[in-house]
Amino acid sequence: MGIFSRSATSRKPNETIKIILTTFLGVAFGFLIGVSFPTLSLTKLNIPSNFIPSIDSSYKEGKSLGLTPQSTLSSKGNNSSSTQAPNLNGTSKIWVPSNPRGAERLPPRIVAAESDFYLRRLWGNPNELCLLHNEQTALLILDDSAVVIQLMDLTSTPKYLVTFTVGYDQRMNIDACVKKFSENFTILLFHYDGRVAEWDEFEWSKRAIHVSVRKQTKWWYAKRFLHPDIVAPYEYIFIWDEDLGVEHFNAEEYIKLVKKHGLEISQPGLEPNKGLTWQMTKRRDDSEVHKFVEIMAPVFSRDAWRCVWHMIQNDLVHGWGLDFALRKCIEPAHEKIGVVDSQWIVHGSVPSLGSQGESQNGKAPWQGVRERCRKEWTMFQTRLTSAENAYFRAAGLDPSTSKGR
């Protein structure tokens, strides 16, 4: 037992020395390894960001902005701001929920949510100004003097938009129509026959906007090319057919009457017994306006069109039944929807759409087009009724006793 005790006591100093030497050598070896290689940065390694502690990235961001760790943590704890940017792996510092969908990462002042059909030159300074003397200009006040200016980049800035869905065969009638509209109107032609270049025989056509897609209707074009944010600069939007006689129509006078009577949706009166669809649109000799509008030659205010555009169904291209639903976009409808009797047109009843159809099952092309029109009318009415009923039920109301506007 005495021998064992002496042996154990004598080994303790040796083991302690070994531990100290091992620790020293390990530290020295680590130091030598560290100084032998360049500094490594996690930001230069291809390491997924979720492996890096979030507190570390927050600290580094705060340090780069001159913030203390305490202020960085404090700001992260305050998430009440509507413009607070989500933590998108540190790649985004802007998040504005009130921006248009998809543009939340942009600063609001760079967001261009609306556009127009104004023609612009391809050269020069976009902000270059020139002195002008007409109503289409902006007004600048310098040293108490009124100076009329306009961007030279804009050849004109019309206040109204008129669209025609056209085939080349109706070019002479369209030429007569366009001449009834002043320079206050942007002219937009939707070509259903694919013939565009031939229209350059008319000087005004060289300044017009042309959209060419074969065998489509005006409501197909309107849904795809007249988004409310595209036509926002225009006070009124005319969406007209190609076969209208305009001998007794003046666009500027029409606009004056629409504004005078506060009409949000309107159309010119139709000459009696000339292609009338509804007697309600028949021109009356004893009044300036009366109330109702169909879809042959409608005119929409900017605000009314924003609602109507959303009601147009993407797959129902003929627009049948739409005229009876227009009242849902205006309040009060009986005051703000009307026919302008003192500015009237004649419907030529040219069956251009029918000729764009195809013969099936022994039926003429126009018969197939007409059958689809009727089907679309039924489908639109069914969808609208179903949508209203679903809304009332979700609101806890009885659809049978509730009414849409």
Query: What is the mean predicted confidence (pLDDT) over 50-58?
Result: 40
- pLDDT, residue 79, reads 43
Average pLDDT, the chain: 78
Other beta carbons within 10 Å of 320 = 20
pLDDT over threshold 80, residue 272: no
**Of 46-50, 103-107, 235-239, 279-283, which range is least confident?**
46-50
3-state secondary structure of 341: strand
pLDDT over threshold 70, residue 317: yes
Q: Which of 66-80, 226-240, 271-285 has the highest mean pLDDT?
A: 226-240
Which one is predicted more confidently, 61 or 261?
261
Q: How confident is the model at residue 60 (pLDDT cuts 50, 70, 90)?
A: very low
pLDDT over threshold 70, residue 13: no
Phi, psi angles (nearest 5°) of residue 35: -80, -10
Q: Which of 109-113, 121-125, 281-285 has the highest mean pLDDT?
A: 109-113
CA angle in degrees (0–180, nearest 5) for 83-89-93: 30
- pLDDT, residue 121, reads 87
Q: In what order do the strands lie in the sheet with 145-151?
A: 129-131, 145-151, 138-142
- pLDDT, residue 36, reads 54
- pLDDT, residue 321, reads 92
d(CA 322, CA 340): 20
pLDDT over threshold 50, residue 334: yes
Query: What is the mean predicted confidence (pLDDT) over 326-348?
Result: 92
pLDDT in tens, 167-186: 999 999 999 999 999 999 99
- Predicted TM-score (pTM) of this structure: 0.71
Query: What is the mean predicted confidence (pLDDT) over 356-383?
Result: 88
Query: What is the mean predicted confidence (pLDDT) over 110-136?
Result: 79
**With pLDDT > 90 as the criterion, what percentage of the chain qualifies?**
53
Q: Which of 126-135, 179-188, 277-286 has the highest mean pLDDT?
A: 179-188
Query: What is the mean predicted confidence (pLDDT) over 15-21?
Result: 69
pLDDT over threshold 60, residue 3: no
**With pLDDT > 70 as the criterion, what percentage of the chain qualifies?**
65
pLDDT over threshold 90, residue 14: no
**Residue 212, C-beta contacts closer than 8 angstroms, at least 6 positions apart:** 190, 191, 194, 196
Q: How confident is the model at residue 84 (pLDDT cuts 50, 70, 90)?
A: low
* Structural domains in the chain plus CATH codes: 79-113 (no CATH), 116-157 (no CATH), 161-348 (3.90.550.10)
Which one is predicted more confidently, 159 or 28?
159
Q: How confident is the model at residue 74 (pLDDT cuts 50, 70, 90)?
A: very low
Q: What is the dihedral of CA 188, 194, 198, 204, to 10 degrees?
A: 0
**Which residues is 147 bridged to in the sheet?**
140
d(CA 221, CA 225): 6
Q: Which of 16-20, 130-134, 365-369 has the highest mean pLDDT?
A: 365-369
pLDDT in tens, 199-243: 999 999 999 999 999 999 999 999 999 999 999 999 999 999 999
Q: Which two tokens stand for residue 342?
A: 């003192």
3-state secondary structure of 319: coil
Question: In which element (H, E) is residue 162 found?
Answer: strand 160-166
Q: Which two tokens stand for residue 143?
A: 């040293």
Q: How confident is the model at residue 25 (pLDDT cuts 50, 70, 90)?
A: low
d(CA 378, CA 3): 111
